[in-house]
Structure 1
Amino acid sequence: MPQTAARPVAVLAALAIVAGLAGCSASPGKPVEDYAGEPKGVPAPASSAGGASWAAWLEDGSQFAIVLYGSSSCPPKVQNVSLTKDDTITATLAPAPGGICTRDYVPHTTVFTTPEKLSTTSEVKVVLPDATLTLPAGRG
């Protein structure tokens, strides 16, 4: 095989291996929705009255929301989540945007699909860099 033809074949083979390995590993969940405000149709818990972060099940447990508080012009957002072996959700925050932010303090919601292997019938911990939230038991 000419050397120029072998190179694309080798690249395609390498990409196929990488794609196969990616299918075997647990990849972080990406948001399915991201918006200003609290989750629609979900009452905020009393603990959020002072602007504390919180989490809630949505769509009968097929989704969950993480609500963070911060500036409306530079809202805090969850970039992705991953599920650990002990059924704990670990959330990674998106990098803070540069620039000037307003000094207001409002909620911002990020929604994720519930991992298939996660039971929604018992409490689930959601670990953020600076807090641990709890999704209550009983959904799903």
Structure 2
Amino acid sequence: MPLTRPRALSAVAALAAVAVLTGCGTQPSRPLEDYSGEPKGIEAPASSAGGASWAAWLEDGSQLAIVLYGSSTCPPKVQNVTATDERTIRATLAPAPGGICTHDFVAHTTVFGTPDHVAKTGQVKVVLPDTTLTLPSRQG
């Protein structure tokens, strides 16, 4: 059955709306690695001395690491990251595990592939629920 002009226009409008909605955001990225401690070969910034969260580029900017501090038996973890624009990455924390946690305070690193469309020059913000981290300009 051929489309009439009003039906064709409605179909085009619906497709355009889908393209706009899907083009504005990216799918959340899942962790590539998740481990206790800080990223190897990366010097922690001075601002992390008191246990403040921090982030760093890895693999010439193709990956990023987010370091959080907390209990070694119930470590805080990042569940996923999403680029909201070319200079902002939003990080979602994983739900806290149940049970009894030790009262120590250690680093825990979660590594992600860098989301597409994130700027290669200039600073990039990583927005967590309770703080915003700044990644320096990356190379490559």
TM range (shorter): 0.7 to 0.9
Aligned ranges for residues 1-140 of structure 1 at < 5 Å?
A: 26-140=26-140
Measure the CA separation in 1 of the matches of 2:23 and 2:101: 39
Shift of 1:115: 1.6
Measure the CA separation in 2 of the matches of 1:23 and 1:125: 21
Q: TM-score w.r.t. structure 1 length?
A: 0.80
Aligned to 1:9: none
Which structure 1 segments of 5+ residues have no match?
1-20
| Cα separation, partners in 2 of 1:121 and 1:86, compared to 1, 3 Å | closer
Amino acid of the structure 1 residue aligned with 2:117? K
Q: What percentage of residue pairs aligned between the two structures are identical?
A: 73
| Cα separation, partners in 2 of 1:127 and 1:96, compared to 1, 3 Å | same
Measure the CA separation in 2 of the matches of 1:31 and 1:86: 20
- Secondary structure of the structure 2 residue equivalent to 1:84: strand
Which structure 2 segments of 5+ residues have no match?
1-20
Deviating 4+ runs (over 3 angstroms): 21-25
Shift of 1:74: 0.2
CA distances 1:51-108 after superposition (whole Å, capped 9, x unpaired): 0000000001010000000000000000001011353000000000000000000000
Q: TM-score w.r.t. structure 2 length?
A: 0.80
Measure the CA separation in 2 of the matches of 1:64 and 1:33: 10
Measure the CA separation in 2 of the matches of 1:107 and 1:100: 18
CA contact (8 A) 1:57 1:139 kept: no
